[in-house]
Copies of this chain bind each other. A is one copy, B any other.
Amino acid sequence: MSTRIGIMGYGNLGRGVECAIKQNDDMELVAVFTRRDPSTVTILTEGVKVESVDKVLDYQDKIDVMILCGGSATDLPNQTPEYAKYFNVIDSFDTHARIPEHFDAVDKAAKEHDHLACISVGWDPGMFSLNRLYANAILSEGKDYTFWGKGVSQGHSDAIRRIEGVLDARQYTIPVEEALEAVRSGKNPELTTRQKHTRECFVVLKPGADAAKVEEEIKTMPNYFDEYDTTVHFISEEELKRDHNGIPHGGFVIRSGVTGWNKENKHIIEYNLKLDSNPEFTTSVLVCFARAIDRMYKEGQRGCKTVFDIAPAYLTKLTSEELRQTML
């Protein structure tokens, strides 16, 4: 029997979930819910309804897992605990510092209403978190490193767009190759913010804007850019559309540790991602964890989980026998 999925919110993530469902024949898209006028929202899947969010409760018996595709700043802190009252839910909440309180709110709602939930699913938090955990469990003495990129940072791009005189912008976070190599060599370097990543900005100016002033404002922006070596390129609107239309991302989680009676042996564990589409990869992770949530709910599990609490075998449609035969 398929896992019946609802999508709440139809932006990049919602569309990514829709695409991932198409690639998994045991998953079925039941409906897409939107706060917009449903008649203005066109989705890719034929025969599937776009519904107003006001209709969502009509679907309580028709959906196994609701995938919440809102943003972490304002949508998910409210949506995930709210919808956990009516559905099994899963989200990609990625404000690391606020995960504990978000977990508590969702866990309470899910337990009170007899549902199963999973938060903070994607690649960071998500697969990067899992790799930090496994690597720390194995190498109990060592040092962790996370590098991000090369990829588009939505938050930094938005920050540039808010500067006066800027029409549009795209910001790439780039890991510093020498720092990566030092980590991989087992040298356990202490790296400053500046030594780990550089930032490259492609900016389209409004007519008459002062390029030098914009560049200065970017490079000195507190938290976002002032601690980094930042390069600014001014380009045309056409160039931005032509050359910077994608949303690639990726990164590296590396643990460097020691074993042996006298800690004489070094080991490096590295996990890395190169992603053409950040939202589509995130939603591919969401969809396989939605499968797990459906199976674990049917086994009687309730409350809120994270990627740490889910045995990997739940993520695939293969049986345990098939997994042992083909992947172990």
Contact = CB atoms under 8 A, between A and B. Distances in A.
A171 interface: no
Interface in A234-281: 259-261, 264-277, 280-281
Interface string A139-181: 1110000000000000000000000000000000000000000
B261 A22 contact: yes
* Interface size, A (range): 35 or more
A271 B274 contact: no
A138 B130 CA distance: 14
B270 A328 contact: no
Contacts of A260: 19, 277, 280
Contact of A120 (B22, B141, B312, B328): B328
A41 interface: no
A30 B186 CA distance: 33
A261 B44 contact: yes
B259 A267 contact: no
A217 to B, nearest CB: 33
A188 interface: no
Given A138-B127, A281-B138, A285-B138, A266 B276 contact: yes
A209 interface: no
A325 interface: yes
A229 B140 CA distance: 38
A214 interface: no
Nearest to A45: B261
24 contacts: A16-B259, A19-B259, A20-B259, A23-B140, A24-B140, A127-B134, A131-B271, A133-B313, A137-B291, A137-B312, A138-B281, A138-B284, A138-B285, A259-B276, A259-B284, A260-B277, A260-B280, A265-B276, A265-B280, A266-B276, A268-B273, A268-B275, A270-B274, A309-B320
Given A100-B325, A267-B274, 5 more contacts: A99-B325, A133-B316, A137-B291, A260-B280, A270-B271
Interface of A: 16, 18-20, 22-24, 44, 96, 99-100, 103, 120, 125, 127, 129-134, 136-141, 184, 186, 259-261, 264-277, 280-281, 284-285, 288, 291, 306-313, 315-316, 320-321, 323-325, 327-328
